[in-house]
Amino acid sequence: MALNRVRGMEFNWSLNPYMGCAHRCTFCYVRAFEERADRPGDARYGDVVRVKTNVVEVLRQELARPSWPRESVAVGAATDPYQPAEGRYRLTRGCIGAFAEHRTPFDLITRGTMILRDLDVLVEAARRARIAIHFSVPTLDPEVWRRTEPGTANPRQRLRVLTRLVEAGIAAGVAMAPILPGISDRPEQLAAVVRAARDAGATHLWSGWLHMKGATRAYFLEHLAREWPAELERYQRLYGSRAYLGAAEGRALREQIAALKRRYPLRGRAGLIAPPAEPVQLMLSI
Ligand code: SF4
């Protein structure tokens, strides 16, 4: 099975060509999923990346079924689809091609600049269905980036790639997540990301605080104790035994980001490739 049915999220379907992620972000929420599947979510996370070598073939079969509802698929919700293994296996590229063939909309989230290699298939997919790319850029603070994301490309490089995608007509925006209390949430740090997203031509931007469950919590707090020991008390106070920050903190962040978006307005969708307006089922013979 390539497509996973998802319940209780903003999307109904997900696809992950890989399991595990060599980017090894210290805050990665997938560490908790790995632990639940009896795989290591600690410092060993990312040592092994499982490759679904037949995912493209299986996806094509699933998308060809008359019962496939052509709902949007979230690509990369549980692993980065443009982590280093993609250079060799080209599975994400193959899946995008399959979505294009079957006029299936999708949202793809990544920290990987390798996505630029697949500009041709992304353009084709955008001509056939609604697609959106979300570049994770939680911060542009070089110190925070280096200390929390040991395996990713510089976030400014991600924004340069975002610009190339938007120039080609693809909707591409910024996911400011996870924002780390006391570490990457200073007003000037938040403003720097929104301003840079605006300058890069981002079509959209959303944000979210750090979530800490299970192995993610254990690993991140251990990392915090080593790298930012003075912040430990803040996290204990803010999170207690909860995985999420409270509603008040969520509202405060949304308001801050909304104000920044008013100050640095994003470009929106003008000039992008417009997906077909007609119901996709009617266009299958093209
Ligand atoms: S890139 Fe995403 S999936 Fe990979 S380690 Fe970082 S947060 Fe986790």
Q: How far is CA 103 from the centre of its chain?
A: 22
190 C-alpha to center of ligand 1: Å? 20
CA distance 138 to 135: 9
| Nearest-10 crossing angle of helices 155-167, 187-200 | 30
Confidence at residue 280, expressed as pLDDT on a 0 to 100 scale = 44
256 C-alpha to center of ligand 1: Å? 25
Residue ranges per structural domain of the chain: 4-263
Best of 25, 33, 211, 220 for a ligand 1 pocket test (most atoms within 8 Å of beta carbon): 25
Best of 79, 146, 223 for a ligand 1 pocket test (most atoms within 8 Å of beta carbon): 79
What confidence tens digit (pLDDT) does each residue in 62-96 have?
999 999 999 999 999 999 999 999 999 999 999 99
> At 136, which helix (H) or strand (E)?
strand 131-136
For 4-263, CATH gives 3.80.30.30
Q: Cite the DSSP H helix spans in 37-186.
A: 55-64, 85-89, 91-101, 119-128, 142-148, 155-167
What confidence tens digit (pLDDT) does each residue in 102-127 have?
999 999 999 999 999 999 999 999 99
Cβ < 6 Å from ligand 1: which residues?
21, 23-25, 28, 30, 79-80, 111
> At 6, which helix (H) or strand (E)?
none
What is the atom index within ligand 1 of the atom nearest the CA of 21? Answer: 4
CA distance 185 to 209: 9
What is the atom index within ligand 1 of the atom nearest the CA of 46? Answer: 5
152 C-alpha to center of ligand 1: Å? 9
**Banded model confidence at residue 177, pLDDT cuts 50, 70, 90:** very high
